[in-house]
Structure 1
Amino acid sequence: MIRLPLLDPDAPEHFPNPARARAEPNGLLAFGGDLSPARLLAAYSSGIFPWFGEGEPILWWSPDPRCVFHTQSLHPNRSLRRQLAGKHWRVTMDQAFEPVVRGCAAPRDDHGSTWIVPDMIDACVRLHQLGHAHSVEVWESERLVGGIYGVAVGKLFCGESMFSIESGGSKAALMALGHLLRELDCPLLDTQVANPHTLQLGAVEIPRAEYLQKIAGLIAVPGRIGSWSDLAAPSLTQLCAGS
């Protein structure tokens, strides 16, 4: 039996020390609480994120190691540049936040399961409406072919999920996000846990203690709060040129 701290429903800013997270399953820290904006922002600021399935209690995690992109090195590799060459896609920001989240929530396995349950969708939309959550969209004409979304806290961006309808759509969105974060002087893009896909694109794993030390400085610096829809979106030509 796993014994976990139960979060106080009346103290949304309080979380256990991430160093108390379990080694197995890696990073499981606490359960309960809610998905209010105050609690979610406190969680991301503390290196903690929610991850749970339909019918489960809210579970909170802080794995060790942590997987991140350094935005200065987030550029398309040669293979991706070839894949994107000739695509007539355009990139926007915060133009279709909820469709991107729902695209990410679409089941991707034979069991039809997803961790982005309806309560998480509603919580992310609330954060977006408050100016803390953002999306990058990739379009082919008026058709959404890929996207990525996440939460900004100070100068830290916590990536949540990405999706593709056309091959390369999520990668284009990721590279566009990296370009935008460099413009906003945000050096770190958190991807929570490693997988072969993100590692192939340049993500690296760092110890949780190092991650927490880095984000402490980043969340202390005021970031942009509000819509990103007025920011200049990079073109595929810019992304493939590495600019």
Structure 2
Amino acid sequence: MSLFAGLDPARAPADAPAAFGGELGAESVLDAYRRGLFPLPAADVFAGAYAEARYEQAVAAGEIALLPGEDPYALAWWSPDPRPVLAPGGVRVPGGLGRRLRNRLGWWTSVDRAFGRVVDACAEGRQPAWITPELREALLDLNARGAAHSGEVWEGEELVGGAFGVVAGPVLSLDSMFHRRPDAARVAVADLGARFGGAGGRLLDVQWDGPYVRSLGARPVPRARYLEELAAGAVPGVLESGPLPASRLG
């Protein structure tokens, strides 16, 4: 039985976790994404204690589900409302960046060439440190199954940017991105989105709203609509993973 059986994300709080608890096995993580949820582990015991103090009344009132687990407040599952999304081919590449890609940078892109390195780079120096060893292991497992993908941007043989996410039906839910050159994360998202759309994907989910994802072209939609989209289509085919010039995105 699913860990999330009986949990209806459509009825979850708009700006609080839908649930606490459970575990981060690959099957549970993939099941969560397919239901419109995504995991956010606590960075440490202090973060878990803070979550318990902040949300225990909502849990007691039944507004937030409490799933089985040794330390339930160490793991939260979110389904924000509204949800920021964009079309796979709709990532905004400003004119100045487009010209640099065409004329000077010489970047090239790939998919799943360095999944573990992208995840590690996304985790590096981030506070709170939500990409825990357990979540990393689950993501690597999902990548091996073809259910999670990374997009990489290269300058020669140097990895200068990337993004990764989990496939849930027709949706690619983007978890994180990083850059070591200006705009390299944007290029990674644009490339990964274009390849996902080319394989039949219908939607990119960027999970949390904010100025940067708005600059990419994301727009917030009601969670109910996002859940409808999630259930509406089939899993896309295999993504083209080989090297491609980033100049094509300009």
TM-score (norm 2): 0.82
1:74 partner amino acid:
V
* Range with greater deviation from structure 2 (200-209 or 176-185): 176-185
Match of residue 35 from structure 1: 24
User: Deviation at 1:27?
Assistant: 3.8
Asked whether 1:14 is paired with 2:5, we answer yes
Asked whether 1:64 is paired with 2:81, we answer yes
Structure 1 residues 77, 47: closer, same or farther in 2, change over 3 A?
A: same
Task: Give distance in 1, aligned partners of 2:117 and 2:235.
Answer: 28
Structure 1 residues 72, 236: closer, same or farther in 2, change over 3 A?
A: closer
Task: Give distance in 2, aligned partners of 1:15 and 1:173.
Answer: 37
Match of residue 119 from structure 1: 134
- Map of 1:217-228 to 2, 5 A cutoff? 217-218=232-233, 221-224=234-237, 228=239
Contact 1:67–1:193 under 8 Å retained in 2:
yes
TM-score (norm 1): 0.84
Task: List per-residue Cα deviations over 1:149-192 (Å, max 9, x = no partner).
Answer: 11112321111111001111101101101211221121200111
Equivalent of 1:135, from 150, 173, 193?
150
Match of residue 50 from structure 1: 39
User: Deviation at 1:28?
Assistant: 0.9
Contact 1:147–1:169 under 8 Å retained in 2:
yes
Contact 1:137–1:173 under 8 Å retained in 2:
yes
Task: Give distance in 2, aligned partners of 1:161 and 1:83.
Answer: 24
Q: Which runs of 5+ in 2 are unaligned?
A: 49-73
User: Deviation at 1:231?
Assistant: 3.3
Percent of counterpart pairs with the same letter?
Answer: 35
Q: How many residues align?
A: 221
1:119 partner amino acid:
E
User: Deviation at 1:41?
Assistant: 1.5
2:13 partner amino acid:
R
Q: Whose helix proportion is higher, 1 or 2?
A: 2
User: Deviation at 1:232?
Assistant: 4.3
1:77 partner amino acid:
P
SS at match of 1:86: helix
SS at match of 1:71: coil
Task: List per-residue Cα deviations over 1:3-22 (Å, max 9, x = no partner).
Answer: xxxxxxx6435251113322
Contact 2:21–2:75 under 8 Å retained in 1:
yes
Q: Which runs of 5+ in 1 are unaligned?
A: 1-9
Equivalent of 2:186, from 162, 171, 191?
171
Contact 1:28–1:61 under 8 Å retained in 2:
yes
- Map of 1:55-204 to 2, 5 A cutoff? 55=44, 56=48, 57-84=74-101, 85-108=103-126, 112-204=127-219
Contact 2:98–2:247 under 8 Å retained in 1:
no
